[in-house]
Structure 1
Amino acid sequence: MTKPGKQSGRQYTEAEVRAILERALRDAQTREVSHDELVAAAEEIGISRGAIEAASRDIEHVRGEEAARAAILAHRRKGFRSHLFSFLLVNAFLFAVNALTDGPWWFFWPLLGWGLGLAFHALGALSSDVSPRQIHRELERGAAQARKEQGRRLKAQRRAERLERQQRLERSAEDFGHAVEEGVATLLSRIAQEIRGSAPPPPPSPPPGEGVSKRSRIAPLEEDEDESEALGEEEADRAARRGRGGR
């Protein structure tokens, strides 16, 4: 068994490094590698972060050009398929009209003229040649669409934040209103308690039966005085009558 220390002193050329890395990546399990992992792996073999950043930008540019090229070719083929469908449908209708009516055959004239235009369209649509100007225009169009999409996302995010802020303000105002109502109710309750505490106490009510007993004691005395006055007046009348009779 070979010890690991015996391999540490070996040196590899640039071509060998590329071949070894390609072989290792091909034999390893396929998975996506993040940018940080790529930078860390490059630094292990002595490649600077700046070189990795520049190479990654080049790869992104190449990837964008390839995507733009694929989009252009797909758009061309889609247009050709639509053109071919219209060509077949219309010329089939013209053939049916020419076959069902009397007269010479004329449908092949529009078929020939339109077929020539379709052939030129096929040459351009089925070709894989894309000019740099077309790629640049497609990249600009994709960038414009990306900016529009980002603008829509930002607008939606701002709208959601504004709605959330408005709901938070409404909840705060509602809580403040409840707090004010509770404070006013508490203040009024305290004022009422202070007013009740400062009022003079009511006079004590007499015990049951006391007022009745006093009136009952005063009423007989008044009746006795009236009776004695009446008796005195009767005695005086009798004495006056006896004096007049004796004379």
Structure 2
Amino acid sequence: MAKPDKQSGRQYTEAEVRVILERALRDAQTRDVGHDELVAAAEEIGISRAAIEAASRDIELVRGEEAARAAIVARRRKGFRSHLFSFVVVNAFLFAINALTPGPWWFFWPLLGWGLGLAFHARAALSSDVSPRRLRREIERSAERARREELRRLKEQRRAESMERKQRLERSAEDFGHAVEEGVATVLSRIAQEIRGSVPPGPAPAPAEDAARRQRIAPLDADDAESEALGEEEAERAGRRARGRR
């Protein structure tokens, strides 16, 4: 592939372009580059988007394999350290028993047998070689963990959104209830004002005037009752005299 330079007309081969880009990236200040920026920069020198996509997939695959290999090696070495700790503690305990009890020395037999197994374990744990099958299983396991983590995150996000919607509905219902109560109170107040406006109430009597009026009415009621009783008695006497004359 050759790319002409617009300013000087110089041309570079594909190998030269690769070397120039590698040196420019090495000499320049390193920073993270986004995928869109990478595609735009590649299109400027005549590399298609499909080629960039394929190369990025290969890089992601290599990155995933490296991460899987590192996880496997770390797990192996962790298991070896645990095995080594058990080996030292148990064999020290066996040595103490053999030293404190009479009889021949026998602790080195389990020490030799277990030490042989520990040596094979160390050889496998300290090696960085990982089979392709083991790498594939680790990549699949990592992808499954990532998928579960994403599902858990989405579930928590949905739960949070549901709680937020529920709180908004509760606040809306509470605001609506307050608005209805205020509206009903306003309507009842207006109705009461209209009723008071259509039937104006008379002036309320003063307490002193009301008491004097009651004192004036009380004697009048007593005189009326007495006059009525006298009238009935006179009528009865007149009736008796009329019957005596007959």
- Per the shorter chain, which TM-score range? 0.7 to 0.9
Partner of 1:105: 105
Q: CA deviation at 1:201?
A: 5.9
Give the TM-score normalised by structure 2: 0.78
Larger Rg: 1
Q: Counterpart amino acid of 1:84?
A: L
Q: CA deviation at 1:7?
A: 5.2
Q: Deviations over 1:124-180 (max 9, x none)?
A: 111221111000000011011101111111111111111111111111111011111
Q: CA deviation at 1:37?
A: 1.5
| Number of residue equivalences | 204
Distance 1:138 1:8 in 2: 52
Partner of 1:165: 165
1:90-239 equivalence runs, <5 A = 90-199=90-199, 202=202
Q: CA deviation at 1:61?
A: 0.6
Distance 2:133 2:63 in 1: 17
Distance 1:202 1:55 in 2: 98
Q: Counterpart amino acid of 2:61?
A: H
Partner of 1:53: 53
1:78 lines up with 2:91 in the alignment: no
Distance 1:7 1:27 in 2: 23
Q: Deviations over 1:48-75 (max 9, x none)?
A: 1111111101111111011111111111
Q: Counterpart amino acid of 1:19?
A: V
Partner of 2:35: 35
Q: Counterpart amino acid of 2:136?
A: H
Unaligned runs of 5+ residues in structure 1 are 209-247
Unaligned runs of 5+ residues in structure 2 are 210-246
Higher relative contact order (CA 8 A, sep 6+): 1
Distance 2:68 2:105 in 1: 46
Partner of 1:63: 63
SS at the partner of 2:42? helix
Distance 1:159 1:183 in 2: 36
SS at the partner of 2:157? helix
Identity between Structure 1 and Structure 2 (%): 83
